[in-house]
Amino acid sequence: MNGEWTESVSNRTFIAINSGTREEIAHVPMGDKNDVDRAVKAARTAFESEEWRAILPADRGRIMQRISRLLLEQKEELAMLETCDTGKPLAQSIADVEVSARYFEYYAGVADKILGETIPIRSDILDFTLREPLGVTAHIVPWNYPLQIAARSLSAAFATGNTSVIKLAEDTPLTALRLAAICEAAGIPKGGVNVVTGYGYEAGTALASHPDIDHITFTGSVATGSEVMKAAAVNVKPVTLELGGKSPNIVFADANLEDAAYWVVRAITQNAGQTCSAGSRLLVERSIHASFVEIVKEKMSRLRVGPGADNSDIGPVISEKQLQRIEDYMNIANQEGATIALGGKSCPEAGSGFFFEPTIIDGISKESRIANEEIFGPVLAVIPFDSVQEALSIANGTEFGLVTGIWTSDINKAHWLAGTVRSGQVFINNYGAGGGVEMTFGGSRKSGFGREKGLEALKFYTQVKNVAIKFTV
């Protein structure tokens, strides 16, 4: 905060635990309203300083290149820290650090290419626009990809000249603190990046309702996103909300089924299903329903569940609360008369962490809660369909609209569905395209609004000022 490492104002701390072992790993300052206030003041003072204004766009780019390099130099250590904090498999943590570095590298290249326009009006008026930073940007980060999501929005906000206050999730406060240290080492002036650790109900609400921030980027649950938006509305602040989904993989009988099954499994088991864009629904053409579920089941049952440090295929879920939530959904599945085709229970034999078996739930109606609600665990809901029109109606049938996977060799079906499905991203015969820092990402409906990643994200961290100059000769 303001270039210093400091305790919380109240001097309180909370304990971070390793989700894979339940061991205590750190005591972390428990920030509240006073700490948030301190952070916002530091960010405001930095933003309005001569020093900040004097940073050339090209220099911002150079600082970001250094951040990217430092992240990669510290990759092994950061990945182990992320695995300790979140429990996720080491390979996933390494990928998370690489993607975080890539965000800074990508936006480093654009920092000096953020342009305005000249607008033709009259011969005696020169009219042009300036694309300016917003000021102090607030970033409320969830626990599923703490480093990556902090890097995602911080990089775009810094590239466009904003200062930032980041509030980390209480379950995973460690790696983004290290990111702040790297930002400092790379040359971001003090106050440019401030990080508050603490609980959502204290530090989170204080940041969302702070009158002196200029924008909020929130990633997390629909309920909290809605609260953040209400708080922002009081102060008339813009928000970007990224709230998760119930994303379908739609598999037709004419698809490459081996390929489709591989990605269907990956899309729901990556990060133990705790991914906003997890492919948590499998919509499968009825003629191949039984056989395709068998292929998926066979692949899923081979995955090794265990602590992330052992580089398992599936790590633990983040907390006791999250494990309980998934178990509650299994009770709902039973009440709804579903068939548990695979898994369906917690997995204590995998270790002392919060492990849940990879799970396939079949035999559900498209109206069931299992088919509609975000479970946020390695739980795949299977729903058969008879026609492309029915596939669309089921795909569009939830409250969400984040990502859709389409698996078919028929270009007509693929195009028609891509054009008609309500979804921020559509993947045809792939899912995720390798992570895609360059690809625009964001939701429709209750998946949220605003866009992250790619060049599109820059619009949400800038505002346009119109300048008209009248001249005479």
Choosing from 276, 347, 357, 374, the catalytic residue is: 276
Q: Please indicate whether residue 242 is annotated as part of the active site.
A: yes
The structure tokens 């058969």 sit at 384
Q: Are strands 239-242 and 462-470 parallel, antiparallel or unpaired?
A: unpaired
Does 376 engage in binding with ligand NAD (CB under 6 A)?
A: yes
Task: Out of 140, 182, 213, 457, point to the residue binding ligand NAD (CB under 6 A).
Answer: 140
Q: Please indicate whether residue 276 is annotated as part of the active site.
A: yes
Does 148 engage in binding with ligand NAD (CB under 6 A)?
A: no
How many residues comprise the chain?
473
Does 239 engage in binding with ligand NAD (CB under 6 A)?
A: no
| CA proximity to 217, closest of 193, 238, 198 | 238
SS (H, E, C) 323-378: HHHHHHHHHHHHHCCCEEEECCCECHHHCCCCCECCEEEECCCCCCHHHHCCCCCC
Q: Which stretch binds ligand NAD (CB under 6 A): 11-19, 102-110, 162-170, 293-301?
A: 162-170
Burial call 207-235: b when 16+ CB within 10 Å, e when fewer? bbbbeebbbbbbbbbbebbebbbebbeee
Task: Out of 169, 193, 241, 265, point to the residue binding ligand NAD (CB under 6 A).
Answer: 169
Q: What does the CA dihedral 17, 22, 23, 25 come to, rounded to 10 degrees?
A: -10
d(CA 177, CA 446): 30
Task: Out of 227, 285, 357, 362, point to the residue binding ligand NAD (CB under 6 A).
Answer: 227
Q: What does the CA dihedral 34, 169, 405, 456 come to, rounded to 10 degrees?
A: 30
d(CA 399, CA 419): 18
Q: Which stretch binds ligand NAD (CB under 6 A): 15-23, 216-224, 264-272, 459-467?
A: 216-224
Does 424 engage in binding with ligand NAD (CB under 6 A)?
A: no
Choosing from 242, 285, 357, 452, the catalytic residue is: 242
Task: Out of 19, 92, 144, 359, point to the residue binding ligand NAD (CB under 6 A).
Answer: 144
| CA proximity to 314, closest of 303, 322, 324, 325 | 303
Does 243 engage in binding with ligand NAD (CB under 6 A)?
A: yes
Task: Out of 142, 358, 424, 432, point to the residue binding ligand NAD (CB under 6 A).
Answer: 142
Task: Out of 20, 29, 173, 220, point to the residue binding ligand NAD (CB under 6 A).
Answer: 220
Q: Which two tokens stand for residue 441?
A: 């990402």
Q: Which two tokens stand for residue 397?
A: 């049938």
HSE, CB side, 13 Å, CA atoms: give it for residue 41: 6
Which CB atom, from 312 or from 447, has the smaller least distance to ligand NAD? 447
Task: Write down the least CB distance from residue 289 to ligand NAD, Å.
Answer: 27
Does 374 engage in binding with ligand NAD (CB under 6 A)?
A: yes
Task: Out of 32, 82, 85, 170, point to the residue binding ligand NAD (CB under 6 A).
Answer: 170
**What DSSP designation does 309 have?**
G
Number of residues that bind ligand NAD (CB under 6 A): 26
Task: Write down the least CB distance from residue 359 to ligand NAD, Å.
Answer: 15
d(CA 76, CA 306): 20
Q: Are 288 and 282 in contact (CB under 8 A)?
A: no
Task: Out of 204, 316, 343, 442, point to the residue binding ligand NAD (CB under 6 A).
Answer: 204
Task: Write down the least CB distance from residue 69 to ligand NAD, Å.
Answer: 27
Would you give the binding string for ligand NAD spanning residues 52-81, x where CB under 6 A is met? Answer: ------------------------------
Which CB atom, from 169 or from 395, has the smaller least distance to ligand NAD? 169
Give the CA distances from residue 17 to residues 86, 88, 170, 189, in Å, rounded to whole numbers and listed in that order: 9, 13, 10, 32
Backbone angles phi, psi at 339, to 5 degrees: -105, 125
Tell me which residue has its CB nearest to ligand NAD: 200
Task: Write down the least CB distance from residue 48 to ligand NAD, Å.
Answer: 25
Does 228 engage in binding with ligand NAD (CB under 6 A)?
A: yes
Task: Write down the least CB distance from residue 106 to ligand NAD, Å.
Answer: 20
Q: Are strands 448-449 and 239-242 parallel, antiparallel or unpaired?
A: antiparallel
Which CB atom, from 70 or from 179, has the smaller least distance to ligand NAD? 179
Backbone angles phi, psi at 409, to 5 degrees: -100, 5
Task: Write down the least CB distance from residue 364 to ligand NAD, Å.
Answer: 19
Does 224 engage in binding with ligand NAD (CB under 6 A)?
A: yes
Which residues in 299-338 contact ligand NAD (CB under 6 A)?
325
Which CB atom, from 15 or from 119, has the smaller least distance to ligand NAD? 15
Phi/psi-derived region of residue 453, left when phi > 0, alpha when psi is between -120 and 50, beta in every other case: left
Task: Out of 196, 276, 278, 296, point to the residue binding ligand NAD (CB under 6 A).
Answer: 276
Phi/psi-derived region of residue 293, left when phi > 0, alpha when psi is between -120 and 50, beta in every other case: alpha
Query: Catalytic amino acids?
Result: 242, 276
Residues interacting with ligand NAD, by CB under 6 A? Answer: 140-144, 167, 169-170, 200-201, 204-205, 208, 219-221, 224, 227-228, 242-244, 276, 325, 374, 376
